[in-house]
Chain A
Amino acid sequence: MTFERVIGSVAFAALLASPISAQTLRYATVSEPPSLDIQMGTATLASTIGQHMFETLYAFDASAKPQPFLATGETISDDEKTITITLRDGVTFHDGSAMSAEDVVASLERWSEFGSRGKLLGLESAEATGPLEVTLTLSAPNGAWKSMMAYPNGGPVIYPAEVASAAGGDAISPENYIGTGPYKFGEIRPNRYVELVRFDDYAKVDAPLDGESGGREALFEKLQFIPVPDVGTRMSGVQAGDYDYAEYISGDLYGLVKDDPSVQVKISAAPIFGLMFMNSEAGPLKDNYALRRAILASLNMEQALQVSVGEPELFKADGAFFPEGNVWYNEAGTDAYSEGDADKARALATEAGYDGTPIKLLVSTNYKEHFDQATVFTRQLADAGINVQMVVVDWATLLTLRGQPTEWDMFMTHHGAIPDPVLLTVMNDSYPGWWKSDEKHALAEKFTGTSDLETREAAWADIQSLIYEQVPVVKVGNVYSFDIASPGLTTPWDGAPAFPHFWGASK
Chain B
Amino acid sequence: MTAPVLSVSDLVVSAGPKFDIVRGVSFDIAPGEILGLVGESGCGKSMTSLAAMGLLPSGIRVSGGSIQLNGTDIIRLAPHQRVQRGCGRMAMVFQEPMTSLNPVLRIGEQIQEAVRVHDRAASPPARARELLDMVRIPDATHQLRAYPHELSGGMRQRVMIAIALACRPAVLIADEPTTALDVTVQRQVLGLIRELCDSLDMGVLFITHDLGVVAQLADRVAVMYAGGLVETGDVVPLFAAPRHPYTAGLMACLPDPNSDDPMLATIPGSAPRPNEIKQGCPFAPRCSRVDDICRRGAVPITFNDSGQAARCHFPLTCEAPE
> Are chains A and B touching directly in their complex (CB below 8 angstroms)?
no
Which residues of A are at the interface with B, using a C-beta cutoff of 8 A?
none
